[in-house]
Amino acid sequence: MDTEYRALQQGSSSSWCTADASSWGAAQQQKRQRCQGSSSDQVGSSSSSSLKISEPEPQQIQEEEEEEEDYYMEEDCDDDDDGYDEDDYDFDEADFNQHLADKFDDLDLPPGVEATVPWLQKIAPKEEAKEPPKSNTADENVNKFTQFKQFDTVQNFSDHHYAENSHGEPNRAWSKRVQHDWKLLEKDLPAYIYVRVAEDRMDLLRAAIIGPKGTPYHDGLFFFDVHIPPTYPSGPPVVYYHSGGLRINPNLYETGKVCLSLLGTWSGRGCENWNPAQSTMLQVLVSIQALILNDKPYYNEPGYESYANDPQGERLALDYNDRTFLYSCRTMLYSLRRPPEHFADLVAGHFRVHGHIILAACKHYMAGNDIGSVVPEDEEESEYKSGDAGASSSSSSAPKPKPGVIKAIPPNRRSSCSFNPSLKVLYEDLLMEFNVKGADTRKFIVEKLKKKQPAAT
């Protein structure tokens, strides 16, 4: 009976091993390696040997079954110790690759190996997604510029030219008159004049005036600090111009002095002088804008007005405009780099909006046109508006001159050969500053890059 049982057992065992020997043997080898911490080389050799396993003897099967029982008993004990549950394990390939790569940091591998082995490549740490900024600098400049009031009050001026002047305790009549002027400024300020007054120092005022079109001051920003003395309104206010050391007008000195009969700094007649009963701060600012920042400032010089209709006087006036525009460009740079207190938003927004036309004007003037002449639109826009879309001949398809555009004048008109080189340098500086402020400079940057490209051979 025992003999038959052993034969039956051997026969059944032999058929079972013959059917599943390879898969069973490989599984057992892997379990032993996990428990005993075998090396990667051992895994390879054991796996290969298990695939060639022959029909085992009954005694060998029994021993392997006992080892299997011991193996699972050890595994259960380990699970009890660390609380590990294989079903709960979530394999993270990135962590696994990173762990393997860390072990190979100190190895001297041939160049390029890291690129072909995934787990030798460092895994970049995950970063939390950040919300993109709601608005860029250019948009902020525009928003602040559009919201910049023509008249407003501020707490004080720390950089005001007359901040150190002692103003004492204002009397009631003086305060009432100053507040009256404030109301006029708030209500009747013309376009292109911006004013800030100080609550803590009613005697201080700052004004920014944008240069009028058609003048060498066009699109520029000019700043004036005003001090209202205790004698006001019996006497006129005191005005200081932020010159940056430039004599930009016969009436605006490099020292900051403003020469105007209304201010008592120049002789005048009748209504040109200060009238305590009628003159106001509004009148002072409008006079600076209209009488000083004009299209032919050369004739502001005393006695020069008699040459207005003389060819020689006209040539000198045009030369003066050339020099004035160069100074105006330098004043723009001065204001961009050192904007006066409480006017930084105006400076950034103004040149962000008007930077394109200023750069176009520079190129227009370097082409030989008079300062203050009308600057044509972009060439593509002009052709689209004035060209004949249905014409086929070259003569009929040529763009027509735009009304109001002054044609280029002979290049020998300018007596100074330094105008174009000087303006070219200023143009490059303005292009950089306007680009920082977010102005539309794309066209000019493209032109600059094209000029730097080597000529095709």
Tens digit of each residue's pLDDT (9 = 90 or more) over 137-182: 667 767 888 899 999 999 999 999 999 987 778 889 999 999 999 9
Q: How high does pLDDT run on average in the chain?
A: 76
Q: What are phi and psi for residue 187, nearest 5 degrees?
A: -90, -40
Note the residue count of the chain: 457
CA pseudo-torsion sign 160, 163, 165, 167: positive
What integer pLDDT is reported at residue 27 of this predicted model?
A: 57
More confident residue, 435 or 97: 435
What integer pLDDT is reported at residue 146 of this predicted model?
A: 86
Could you tell me the pTM of the whole model? 0.65
Among residues 205, 238, 198, 240, which one has the least CA distance to residue 222?
240
What integer pLDDT is reported at residue 400 of this predicted model?
A: 39
Residue 127 has pLDDT above 50, yes or no: no
Residue 295 has pLDDT above 70, yes or no: yes
Residue 41 has pLDDT above 80, yes or no: no
What integer pLDDT is reported at residue 417 of this predicted model?
A: 84
What integer pLDDT is reported at residue 144 of this predicted model?
A: 85
Contacts of 245 (CB under 8 A, 6+ apart): 254
What integer pLDDT is reported at residue 71 of this predicted model?
A: 43
What band does 96 get if pLDDT is binned at 50, 70 and 90? low
Looking at the DSSP assignment, which residues form a beta bridge with residue 222?
209
Active-site entry in 35, 77, 259, 329: 259
Beta carbons of 218 and 361 less than 8 angstroms apart: yes
Could you give the angle at the alpha carbon of 310 between the alpha carbons of 308 and 314, nearest 5°? 65
Q: What are phi and psi for residue 389, nearest 5 degrees?
A: -65, -30
Looking at the DSSP assignment, which residues form a beta bridge with residue 221?
210
What integer pLDDT is reported at residue 451 of this predicted model?
A: 82
Which residue do the tokens 């600076």 mark?
288
271 is catalytic: no
